[in-house]
Amino acid sequence: MPQTNTSLVRNLQIISQLVRGEFKLRYKSSLLGYFWTLFKPLMLFGVIYLVFSVFLRSPMQNYAVYLLLGIVLWTFFTEATMTGMNSLTGKRELITKIYFPRQTLVYAATLSSLITLLLNLLIFAVFYFGAGLLPGWASLLFLPYLLLLLLFTTGISLILASLYARFHDLSHIWEVILQILFWITPIVYDLSFVPEQFRAWLYLNPMTQFISFSRRIFLIDQVPSLKQHAVLLAVSLGVFAIGYWFFKKTEYKVAEMI
Amino acid sequence: MAQISVQNLSKSFLVPHQRRTTLKDSFVDFLGAGLWRRPVQEQFFALNDVNLEIGAGEFVGIIGPNGSGKSTLLKILAGIYRPNAGQVNLRGSVAPLLELGIGFQQDLSARDNIYINAALLGLPASQTRRLLPEIVEFAEIGHFLDLKIKNYSSGMRQRLAFAIAAHLDADIYLCDEVFAVGDESFQQKCLAVFRRWRDSGKTILLVSHNTGQIADLCDRALLIDRGQLLADGPATAVVELYHQTLSATR
């Protein structure tokens, strides 16, 4: 029987050790370590900047800063959900030998991606201050945004991880979905370019809110409305709650499925 | 009250080739079930209506042929599998030593694996740090501590896994084939650990094909065959019975 005395402290210890292990796995065995983490989003940024700013002559002010923020947040979402989805199947050896709360594996995966995000944000800061911009008070909202983004992403990862243990083609499906989402989330363009009748649809995707709100607080020092924040909070908490519920409901089968 | 109590425990698995692992299979099965046929799902009972009570401080051996359900029983007790039917109650903390040396991450060093495994088994990092020298010495892996596990021999892996478990302070130890690998001197060390556990009143379940060892170490033994508990009694008597049934079927 699963032990019921699995306290929060124990889970935090497990998560902390798993994150450490993940960190080492990712960066100790590759030659340039963290360089790759920073290089990948920068590469994507460089290419898109070239196409949209130089070839297509986008008229947007501070487009580089604008674009980089979108890419950095988006990269976190893709990386965290992909590693989160694989976190159970990748740790098959642990799951079939020891009972421990399985969701800690998913948390460790998203937290590992959070470390990457924080490093990428350092690069963003270089571009931001390099462009002569200075943050206003509204920028402080970015911290709660990060927290909500983490919750939202973890919720999605919990669902993906649980489903992936059963259906292995989910990784292909999710890759396609991510590719589509990349273009219908305002990452390379601004929401104002989108015709009025489509805008509401784009807002159905929470990543739209995370990215456009973050841009507003950093670039035009403007605070989204209370209602918009309420929606963001409700969506993030809701997705996490659904993910947690779904994962818990299916957790007991994981050891037999993977 | 018993430390471990098992009532009417049954565990069945669906035969693998009928398991749906792709969406297409699932979809085809879904259509099939609705339109023309129900998917055939063959049930295999790994454990069938097992009843068991084990008191605190008992040292119980579990014997039986391959595929009889011994490991499944331990996995259920360890909380890894959930039974299909029946009740399982455990009092106290559990240290699982199942298929030793497999629960490691290949691309991490032994040091990292010790910390991760210990955390999964409920040991805080501060305690692991304190126990590390002892674990390393017990496992005899000395200067290989920072070598990746994938470069370890199977014997080294097992020694390390046993060393971690040997330093856990649990109430119940679930051990599956812990003597399968390991040279003679290491086996002596393992036996010493088992005696220490027994003398300090721990409850131990030991699955082994080495019936001599079971008769030697355990007070009580269970004989399991085809998912059923065939015998439960003094270790020497059950081992004797097992040998008789083996020679009878031969």
Chain B residues touching A101 at Cβ < 8 A: none
Shortest distance between the Cα of B162 and any Cα of chain A, in A, equals 13
Local structure of residue A88 (DSSP, 8 states): T
Contact in structure between B76 and A78 (CB atoms under 8 Å):
no
Q: Which residues contact B57 (CB under 8 A, 6 or more apart)?
A: B3, B198, B201, B202, B203
pLDDT band (50, 70, 90) for residue A47: very high
pLDDT band (50, 70, 90) for residue A4: very low
**pLDDT at res. A1:** 37
**pLDDT at res. A12:** 92
Shortest distance between the Cα of A228 and any Cα of chain B, in A, equals 37
Chain B residues touching A7 at Cβ < 8 A: none
Burial label for A243, CB within 10 Å (0-12, 13-18, 19+), is: buried
Complex prediction ipTM: 0.84
**pLDDT at res. A24:** 85
Co-location of B179 and B234 in the same domain:
yes
Q: Is A92 on the interface with B (CB under 8 A)?
A: no
Chain A residues touching B98 at Cβ < 8 A: 97-98
Co-location of B86 and B131 in the same domain:
no
Q: Is B26 on the interface with A (CB under 8 A)?
A: yes
Considering only the beta carbons, identify the residue of B81, B105, B112 that sits closest to A93: B105
- Asked whether residue A80 is assigned to any structural domain, the reply reads yes
Co-location of B238 and B181 in the same domain:
yes
A24 and B112 in contact by Cβ < 8 A? yes
Q: pLDDT higher for A211 or A93?
A: A211
Highest mean pLDDT among A28-32, A37-41, A145-149, B192-196: A145-149
Quote the domain boundaries for residue B109: 104-170
pLDDT band (50, 70, 90) for residue A5: very low
Instruction: Please state the domain count of chain A.
Output: 1
- Asked whether residue B11 is assigned to any structural domain, the reply reads yes
Half-sphere exposure of residue B137: CA atoms within 13 angstroms, side-chain side: 6
**pLDDT at res. A3:** 43
Co-location of B160 and B190 in the same domain:
no
Low-confidence ranges of chain B (pLDDT < 50): 35-36
- In this prediction, residues A207-215 reach a mean pLDDT of 95
Rounded to whole angstroms, how far apart are CA atoms A231 and A192?
20
B81 and A256 in contact by Cβ < 8 A? yes
- Asked whether residue B99 is assigned to any structural domain, the reply reads no
**pLDDT at res. B133:** 94
- Asked whether residue A3 is assigned to any structural domain, the reply reads no
Chain B residues touching A100 at Cβ < 8 A: 120-121
What CATH number did the domain enclosing B84 receive? 3.40.50.300
**pLDDT at res. A2:** 41
**pLDDT at res. B178:** 80
**pLDDT at res. A148:** 97
Contact in structure between A258 and A92 (CB atoms under 8 Å):
yes
pLDDT tens digits for B198-233? Answer: 999 999 999 998 898 899 889 999 999 999 999 999
pLDDT band (50, 70, 90) for residue A247: very high
**pLDDT at res. A258:** 78
Instruction: Please state the domain count of chain B.
Output: 2
B214-244 core/surface letters (b: 16 or more CB in 10 A; e: else): bbebbebbbbbbebebbbbeebeebbebbee
Quote the domain boundaries for residue A101: 8-257
- Asked whether residue A1 is assigned to any structural domain, the reply reads no
- In this prediction, residues A108-133 reach a mean pLDDT of 94
Q: CA quadruple A41, A44, A47, A53: dihedral positive or negative?
A: negative
